[in-house]
A and B are shown apart, each in its own frame.
Chain A
């Protein structure tokens, strides 16, 4: 059990001397599951390597339960890590792969055997115990990598680098097995990050772009791809003289002039009535999603979507479309999200 805190921490990739992770400050509370999400090359793996003690940390401090652990050796940190490649020890049979961390921890042979038996049973590795790693499938290798970590007595923290990339079926079981232990879980999939994590850290280009609960991220996204976690309509627009012009109408705004700008509208904010600006959506073919979201194919959007991949070709709305070709909706101008069309950053 452990609280992890990073203070302005920079870290280097294995083959380089220049930091690829820049001044990260965040805390993972005791027992919390933090998911880390970002595109490839954003520094997710380097963050885990810094936490376990494999990465060079030229600047910054790592605190473990209030102690400065920046220079601690990996063995002193008592963290358990699943590597992205799920690579087993090639010279050891599955059984000994599972047992090695326990033997390193100095557990008595009887307990090692018992823990190996137990974890193999839970991960369906029992029939493979006497095999060599090169006889395993990708999914089996993934389970072996998880087993090597889960067989250990509760570590201070679990560090999981895309632990389920070979077989996502295990997600629920893995969550249950690590529940209650501080965990940092890296995933490239922002939807997965939001489903699994108590909180989500968004990395991009080695910097922490956003940190918050999945709800925070959905409400106040720091960038377009974070916003896309929840259903979102993205329209091209421009701001001039206090007006935000959109293909579906014009909204008042207090933002400075900008052209072009990407505008994100959540379907839940497009309501049939209430306070706000009245818009009329000239709907084409309607379709209703299982969650009640209506897809309105607005004629003005198809061309804009062809030009900008971020733009939605249709408007998602929570309205009653029954029997109508022109749908009146109400939108609170304060609820729209504005993004930079080039970087996707929130404005």
Chain B
């Protein structure tokens, strides 16, 4: 009985989580003629939608913006959060106990409450519709995320290995580079992936703080896809674009999940 319930629950979760994704994949493979045939399996699968979006500057430019803004946010967030997490884990300083709760307070601030004032501020500062105009608000959410992830990870690291390395004849720098960096790498990678996906998936800031191809990311650009004719919804193109931005996330999660779990557990022994 319990077993049956378990299976039923699993199936329910799979239907809710996977079916919409499959539906979008299906839509992206349908031609305009069959797009509303309500079948999960496309009758005449076609790559026309993909050809069309990759042929349009609207989408390719948005993809470039998404990748660029996402990478810049990731690099900055990880570069700033790693030393911060190190300090929070290893050093003693006044007000240390307040840092993480305060960053969390920033992170839970609703983005919708910010975009209005940011819109005015960014226009006044000339940041509206620029890459930095998105990178900066992303950082304010990505930094706490990265700091929390990295602090939790660093707390679990066997820091005494640093001393073991010195006893084995390493200089502090060698101990850091040959022992601590390899041990910390999986945590930094995890933080980087989480931050990148945060920036990659954002819609609220992207639609509010951009107005042109210069900085519009893919989620924001979807709304601007032209239909095949006036007033026709570009369903196929939107579905194809959605697949293009979703698939890398799924693949990366699957690939890195395995690697991260391996990195986190391989050899990590605590007596």
Q: What residues of chain B lie closer than 8 Å to A92, measured between beta carbons? A: 267
The answer on a CB contact under 8 Å between B271 and A53 is no
30 CB < 8 A contacts A-B = A52-B166, A52-B167, A73-B166, A74-B166, A74-B167, A75-B169, A79-B167, A83-B164, A85-B271, A87-B158, A87-B269, A88-B269, A90-B158, A90-B268, A90-B269, A91-B179, A91-B268, A92-B267, A93-B267, A100-B165, A100-B168, A101-B169, A104-B168, A104-B169, A132-B266, A132-B267, A134-B265, A134-B267, A134-B268, A159-B167
Known: A87-B158, A91-B182. A54 touches B163 (CB 8 A): yes
A92 to B, closest residue via Cβ = B267
Chain B 255-271: CB-based contact to A (< 8 A → 1; otherwise 0):
00000000001111101
Counting CB contacts under 8 A, is A311 at the interface? no
* B174 in contact (CB, < 8 A): yes
In the complex, what distance in Å separates the CA atom of A104 from the CA atom of B179? 12
Q: Is B166 touching A133 in the complex (CB atoms < 8 A)?
A: no
Q: Which residue of A lies closest to B179 (CB)?
A: A89
Cβ of B171 under 8 Å from chain A: yes
A81 at the binding interface (Cβ < 8 Å):
yes
Chain A residues within an 8 Å CB radius of B163: 14, 54, 83
Set of chain A residues within 8 Å of B268, measured between Cβ atoms: 90-91, 134
Q: Decide: A87 and B160 in contact? CB cutoff 8 A.
A: yes
Which of A54, A79, A86 is the most central at the interface, judged by chain B CB atoms within 10 Å of its CB?
A54
- Contacting residues, chain A, for B179 (C-beta < 8 A): 89, 91
Instruction: Answer whether residue A80 sits at the interface, using C-beta atoms and an 8 A cutoff.
Output: yes
- Chain B count of residues within 8 A CB distance of the other chain: 24
Query: In the complex the two chains form, what is the Cα distance from A51 to B174 in whole Å?
Result: 21
Q: Which residues in chain A, 53-109, are within 8 Å of chain B measured between CB atoms?
A: 53-54, 73-75, 78-81, 83, 85-93, 100-101, 104-105
Contacting residue for A78 out of B166, B169, B267, B269, CB 8 A: B169
For the complex, is A266 an interface residue (Cβ under 8 Å from B)?
Answer: no
Residues of chain B at the chain A interface (Cβ within 8 Å)? 158, 160-161, 163-172, 174, 178-179, 182-183, 265-269, 271
CB neighbours of B267 from chain A (8 A) = 88-93, 132-134
Q: How many residues of A contact B (CB 8 A)?
A: 32
**Which of A73, A91, A134, A152 sits near B183, CB closer than 8 Å?**
A91
Given A104-B174, A132-B266, A134-B268: A80 touches B167 (CB 8 Å cut-off)? yes
- Whether A74 lies near B158 (C-beta < 8 A) is no
Other A-B contacts than A52-B167, A101-B168, A152-B169, 4 sampled, CB-CB below 8 A, are A85-B271, A89-B179, A91-B182, A104-B170
Contacting B at CB under 8 A, from A275-329, are none
A91 CA / B269 CA spacing, docked (Å): 9
Point out the residues of chain B lying under 8 angstroms from A75, CB to CB: 166, 169-171
